[in-house]
Amino acid sequence: MMRPLIIERPDLQSLRQWYAYAILTLLFWILWFYLWIPLVSLVAWLFGFQLFYQQMIVLEGLRGVLDLAGWYGLVIALLGSSLLCWALYNQLRFRGREKRHHQEKIKAPELAAFHHIDPALIPRIQQAKRIVIIHDAHGHIQAIKSWQRKKIGG
């Protein structure tokens, strides 16, 4: 049985790591959308965005959309309240019955035997802040290096 990686257990991340990951993800999503702007502009031009501008802005077609906004809001409120009612129903139905189970902690000898490494390395690996694990083509550990590029063992 394998011990979960930090990417499978976000609760093992420090608050600083979590915020850094969240900010980095947001920045890359913004970059991703920014890179699509030329294609979106081309598609808008091909499908007649000028016609859209003429109908919505110049001829005040936007007024009709704003009139429908109330109906859209009502539909969104109904859908949201139905989801809220479903969540409350499930909370009442399953209250006090925990179905999820925590994983058992794996002991160092079992972990070392599974990965075919020296059991004395396990505490050092677990205490290291950052490590690099090099695998072969079959997924077996070839080497374990610390962040400072010093070899821990292998």
| Averaged pLDDT for residues 124-148 | 83
| Averaged pLDDT for residues 12-28 | 89
Identify whether the C-beta of residue 142 lies closer than 8 Å to the C-beta of residue 136: yes
Query: 127 and 84 in one domain?
Result: no
| Averaged pLDDT for residues 41-60 | 72
Query: 76 and 35 in one domain?
Result: yes
Spacing of C-alpha 75 from chain mean position: 29
pLDDT at 87: 95
Domain contains 3: no
Domain contains 1: no
Percent of the chain at pLDDT > 90 equals 19
Q: How many domains does the chain have?
A: 2
Q: Tens digits of per-residue pLDDT, 60-107? A: 776 777 788 888 999 999 999 999 999 999 999 888 887 777 778 888
Query: 114 and 90 in one domain?
Result: no
21/40 Cα distance (integer angstroms): 28
Query: 79 and 15 in one domain?
Result: yes
Identify whether the C-beta of residue 151 lies closer than 8 Å to the C-beta of residue 143: yes
Sort strands 131-135 and 151-153 into parallel, antiparallel or unpaired: unpaired
Structural domain span for residue 123: 108-153
- pLDDT tops 90 at residue 146: no
Domain contains 46: yes
